[in-house]
Chain A
Amino acid sequence: MSFISIHSLTKSYTKGKTSVTPLENLSLDVPRGEFLALMGPSGSGKTTLLNLIAGIDSPTMGELVVDGRDIAKLSRAELTHWRASHVGYIFQLYHLVPILSAFENVELPLLLGKLSRSQRREKVSAALELVDLVDRAHHRPSELSGGQEQRVAIARAIVHDPNLLVADEPTGDLDRESADAILNLLKTLANDHGKTIVMVTHDPKAAEAAHRTLHLEKGKLIEQGALESATAKSV
């Protein structure tokens, strides 16, 4: 059984007087523990799909089952609650809270639960250790490099042990060396820790790190064969 099962998913909204449909009748299955990369040009709907899978947005139509739960039917409040325990989100620009230290940023998702201070400390330390940033725990984001900030953001995404990690261009703002370190970390999380990862990227090198890459165009998935012929024509 797939960890993520998407069937005939459509997302549309109105912008002014125009109706926009960034995703149309999309179906997709992602097995548990897969590291999936989503590629496509700007406006192809990949971030919309990522947001739907992460429970940040709700589809207009279709079925979206994650880990056995149809999240398309959840209310805004239920989705928030579901995200708190099932999803870790990694942003392109890290989005750490500037007034908090690395430790406190990683601790943020745990403040919602009922863990004691020592339990939280233990979990945060473990997450920081996994991203190799224990020595920077008490530094503020402004005292960290971009690569370190993104590693803190990854620690924040995994600290509450979610099964699903979604990453929106996690290496888009990093130099090659830092980007490789982040991709290795994501691979480790998928291979060694069984996390299912969905990553949006523009970078083919980043996509190579994933187990599978899917291409989106105008809100639809392009078949691998169609993609190869499209690429050949353009060459």
Chain B
Amino acid sequence: MKLISLALKNLTRHRLRSLLTILGVAAGMFLYASVETMQGSLAKATQISADDTTLVVYRENRFCPMTSRLPEHYLPTIERIPGVREVIPIQISVNNCGASLDVITFRGVPPEALRQYNPDLTVIDGSYDAFTKRSDAALVGSHFARRRGLKAGDQFEAVGVNVYVAGIISSDSPQDENVAYVHLPFLQQASRIGLGIVTQFNVKVASSDLLDEVAAKIDATFKSDQQPTHTRPEKAFFAETAKQMIELIGFTRWLGLGAVLAVLGLVANAVLLIVRGRVKETAILQTLGYSRKNIATIVIFEGVLLGLTGGFIGVIGAFSFFLSKSFTIGNEGLTLALAPTASVCVSGMAVALLLGLVASLYPAWKATSRPLVQSLSSH
């Protein structure tokens, strides 16, 4: 503790240099935390877990909601397949099929079926009743609402569809957080797709063990139909359909690594400069009885303090940035909310700590390796 306070005072000696180093570390750690946020959000959206029981029935060989068209009358047939628990037909309308940072997705669903199909939806503003009563009503995901500054009672227009915000919803499913649910007939008419046509069916099966079996049965049922289907677990559907977006986000991992290496070099350089500027002073401390371990500890504390301070600013900055902006990347009608998590903050701080530690090891060795007499006679 006594040595930490000495290290802290040492950092205040060259305030501008310390501040610039901290800013550099903050910038690097901001980038690292941003990349981790994207990677974490992607992992959450694409990694299938044991709890996943949802299948997506899509038109075979189609990858965009504009081209996936299935007859709504498939619904009762799918419902009768053994293992199927719930089915909901969905019409999807998006403003952009390609990759976009501000994708707007309407999901047209039978209003009375939505609550039954997805009981985890919570209306946090407005009401579900208001949604069922008005044909142009929408339940807007909280992430979407935050991004667009919407609240219950507002009216908004997108993709040529004008809706009334009946409520803001919250859900554990990232997809629900980024869409606006509207009445199915309303969207079918407003988007000129026509009544009786849907983009996909979302199917809940009795248990995750049945996912592949039920998917195969559904596809087999409509194999000879005019509109054959391709059924996959929801997260696999996401991983395959939003391939370009996933590749792009996967590439950002290299940016994260680059940021970490840049921070490592920056802190190492800063601490090395500090050590070089204090050769004589270090020798004086050694003369007073400070051991090599004591000196190394002070130097390492300085590196760690620089790393942690910059890391804290960068990580919290990234957290606040993503929280306030509510970014959503969309691709092929699917959305990926870039949601910051506490685990990114914790891992970011751990990386900053580790970087400060590793970066100051060489300077710490350098500070203590020189013979004392030689250091004392240096200028």
Contact = CB atoms under 8 A, between A and B. Distances in A.
Contacts of A156: 288
A156 B294 CA distance: 18
B372 A95 contact: no
A81 B285 contact: no
Q: Chain B contact residues (Cβ within 8 angstroms of A): what range? A: 20 to 34
Interface in B280-303: 280-281, 284-292, 294
B291 A80 contact: yes
A84 B288 contact: yes
B130 to A, nearest CB: 65
B288 A89 contact: yes
Contacts of B290: 80, 84, 112
Given A57-B372, A97-B281, A112-B294, A83 B289 contact: yes
Nearest to A98: B13
A9 B271 CA distance: 40
Interface in A72-113: 76-77, 80-81, 83-85, 87, 89, 91, 95, 97-100, 108-109, 111-112
Contact of A56 (B2, B6, B292, B372): B372
Nearest to B286: A80
A51 interface: yes
Given A51-B373, A80-B292, A99-B13, A111 B6 contact: yes
A42 to B, nearest CB: 13
A91 B9 contact: no
Contacts of B291: 77, 80-81
B3 interface: yes
Nearest to A117: B2
B289 A80 contact: yes
Contacts of A87: 289
Contacts of A85: 289
B294 A57 contact: no
A99 B9 contact: yes
Contacts of A77: 291-292
Contacts of B6: 111
Contacts of A108: 285, 288
B207 interface: no
A81 B13 contact: no
B324 to A, nearest CB: 38
Nearest to A54: B287
Nearest to B372: A56
Interface in B282-338: 284-292, 294
B288 A109 contact: yes
Contacts, number: 54
Q: Which of A87, A95, A156 neighbours the largest number of chain B CB atoms within 10 Å of its CB?
A: A95
Interface in B1-33: 2-3, 6, 9-10, 12-13
Nearest to A94: B284
A18 B92 CA distance: 87
B376 interface: yes
Given A51-B373, A57-B373, A83 B10 contact: no
A56 B373 contact: yes
Contacts of B292: 76-77, 80
Contacts of B287: 54, 56, 83, 89
Contact of B3 (A54, A99, A111): A111
B9 A81 contact: no
Contact of B281 (A84, A95, A111): A95
Contact of A100 (B9, B288, B376): B9
A108 B290 CA distance: 9
Given A51-B373, A57-B373, A112-B294, A95 B289 contact: no
Contacts of A97: 281, 284
A99 B287 CA distance: 19
A206 B189 CA distance: 105
Interface of A: 51, 54, 56-57, 76-77, 80-81, 83-85, 87, 89, 91, 95, 97-100, 108-109, 111-112, 156, 160
29 contacts: A51-B376, A56-B372, A56-B373, A77-B291, A80-B289, A80-B290, A80-B292, A81-B289, A81-B291, A83-B288, A83-B289, A84-B289, A84-B290, A85-B289, A87-B289, A89-B288, A95-B280, A97-B284, A99-B10, A100-B9, A108-B285, A108-B288, A109-B288, A109-B289, A111-B2, A112-B288, A112-B289, A156-B288, A160-B289
- What are the 10 closest A-B residue pairs judged by CB atoms, nearest first? A84-B289, A111-B2, A95-B284, A80-B291, A57-B373, A83-B289, A109-B288, A99-B13, A89-B287, A99-B9
